[in-house]
Amino acid sequence: MATIPLRNTIYEIIKNAGAMTDSELSKALTKAGISIPEDEFNKTLLNLEIYGLIKVTWLTKDERRVEIFVKEAEEDEIEKQNRESLEKEYEAGFPGVEQETDIEE
């Protein structure tokens, strides 16, 4: 039987919760039968944050909020497509005018 890497397990717990504190995450791990030292727990959170999968913010001196990182690139891509579509529609409104394709700024 293959074991699931710790960071995958932690990521799945956070993903299912959406957002939680680090102490809630630690309790969820304990409930799942996973006991890890605090330094390994922090290292795993840091790795997930570096990979861009989660976002960790400090709530108080001793408590952190851990949540899934929502990538804005998808929204930006949609906005880009909408802008390009609007530009093409605008340019199409001027028949007979030659359109430039690559404008250097």
The answer to whether residue 105 scores a pLDDT higher than 70 is no
Range of the domain at 7: 1-93
Tokens 């899934």 sit on residue: 68
The tokens for 55 are 């976002």
Cα separation of 36 and 42, whole Å?
Answer: 10
- Based on the structure, what is the number of domains in the chain? 1
Q: Average model confidence (pLDDT) for the chain?
A: 83
Using pLDDT thresholds of 50, 70 and 90, give the confidence band for residue 94: low
CATH number at residue 76: 1.10.10.10
Tokens 């304990």 sit on residue: 30
Residue 100, domain member (yes or no): no
**pLDDT tens digits for range 24-69:** 999 999 999 999 999 999 999 999 999 999 999 999 999 999 999 8
Tokens 């960071």 sit on residue: 7
pTM above 0.85, yes or no: no
For 3-17, 21-35, 50-64, 85-99, which range has the lowest pLDDT when averaged over its residues?
85-99
